[in-house]
Amino acid sequence: MKLFLDTANLEEIRAIKRWGVLSGCTTNPSLLAKEHSDWEVQMKEVCAEVDGPVSLETTEKSAEAIYEEGMKLAGVAPNAVVKVVMTPDGLEAGKRLVEQDVPVNVTLTFSPAQAILAAEIGATYVSPFLGRLDDAGADGMHVLRDICEIFEVQGYQTQVLAASLRHPMHVVEAALSGADVATMPYDVFTLLVKHPLTDLGLEKFDNDWKKLQKELKEGAR
Ligand code: G3P
């Protein structure tokens, strides 16, 4: 499973990139709005910083306007992926973008039925939002598992991109479910590396090593 960062923040991207585990990035209008008043500049900078696909979301509502906006977003950078929302107009525009060889990510997906539609238009990614399903009293992980099973049974090529992940167990369970990609905010990414036993173990190794160096210096060994 590939790990993507769900952000439009360059510092966050640079920090995780240094770990050598970052395969891509997803943005949305809310994330871009937090960063820069000139969102076009921000989009370009994010795409330039990420070695992998970067999802850029359309904001228009009619199929024609989404398509036009999508074509512009596809031209932002060679690694741009165009996000369309799971609506009839989003699907229509998404299908037209796919026909122009533009990689498409169908976002705001909350059910297996919606995910099937994304696969049928030939989207590169479909993004089920787990955390928001949980917030609404549903079982986001159950929906993700069903989508992964359907895609496996049907042989769909569309990649399942688990989104709206809120904690490390979401990431672990997404991997167990067979998701192709997990996208998560910076905070969740940094939690993946943390374990109290790692910290305790490091402290003990450090202390034992310093003790040995001290004893050698004092001739006690
Ligand atoms: O970018 C899409 C998705 O990951 C947003 O997550 O936390 O706003 O529900 P969240």
Residue 129 Cα to ligand 1 midpoint, Å, equals: 7
Are 1 and 159 a contacting pair, CB within 8 Å?
no
For ligand 1, whether the C-beta of 28 sits within 6 Å is yes
Residue 181 Cα to ligand 1 midpoint, Å, equals: 14
| pLDDT-based confidence at residue 84 (cuts at 50, 70, 90) | very high
* pLDDT tens digits for range 8-22: 999 999 999 999 999
pTM of the entire structure? 0.95
Report DSSP state, residue 104: E
220 pLDDT more than 90: no
Q: Which atom of ligand 1 is nearest to the CA of 31?
A: 1
36 pLDDT more than 90: no
* pLDDT tens digits for range 194-215: 999 999 999 999 999 999 999 9
Span 121-139, mean pLDDT? 98
114 pLDDT more than 80: yes
| pLDDT-based confidence at residue 48 (cuts at 50, 70, 90) | very high
Q: Which atom of ligand 1 is nearest to the CA of 131?
A: 9
181 pLDDT more than 80: yes
Q: Which atom of ligand 1 is nearest to the CA of 132?
A: 9
Span 87-93, mean pLDDT? 98
Produce one character per residue of 185-221: b if its CB has 16 or more CB atoms within 10 Å, e if not: bbebbeebeeeeeeeeeeeeeeeeeeeeeeeeeeeee
148 pLDDT more than 90: yes
Name the residue ranges covered by the structural domains of the chain.
Answer: 2-196
Residue 76 Cα to ligand 1 midpoint, Å, equals: 22
* pLDDT tens digits for range 60-82: 999 999 999 999 999 999 999 99
Are 12 and 186 a contacting pair, CB within 8 Å?
yes
221 pLDDT more than 90: no
Ligand 1, atom 4, lies closest to the CA of 164
CATH 3.90.550.10 fits 2-196, yes or no: no
Span 23-49, mean pLDDT? 93
CB count within 10 Å of CB 151 equals 23
For ligand 1, whether the C-beta of 132 sits within 6 Å is yes
Ligand 1, atom 5, lies closest to the CA of 164
Are 146 and 123 a contacting pair, CB within 8 Å?
no
pLDDT given at position 159: 98
For ligand 1, whether the C-beta of 6 sits within 6 Å is yes
For ligand 1, whether the C-beta of 163 sits within 6 Å is yes
Residue 17 Cα to ligand 1 midpoint, Å, equals: 20
pLDDT given at position 22: 98
Residue 85, strand partner residues:
107
Are 181 and 1 a contacting pair, CB within 8 Å?
yes
Residue 168: strand, helix, or coil: helix
| pLDDT-based confidence at residue 37 (cuts at 50, 70, 90) | confident
Can you give the three-state secondary structure of 203-220, one letter per residue? HHHHHHHHHHHHHHHCCC
For the question of residue 72 being annotated catalytic, the response is no
For ligand 1, whether the C-beta of 164 sits within 6 Å is yes
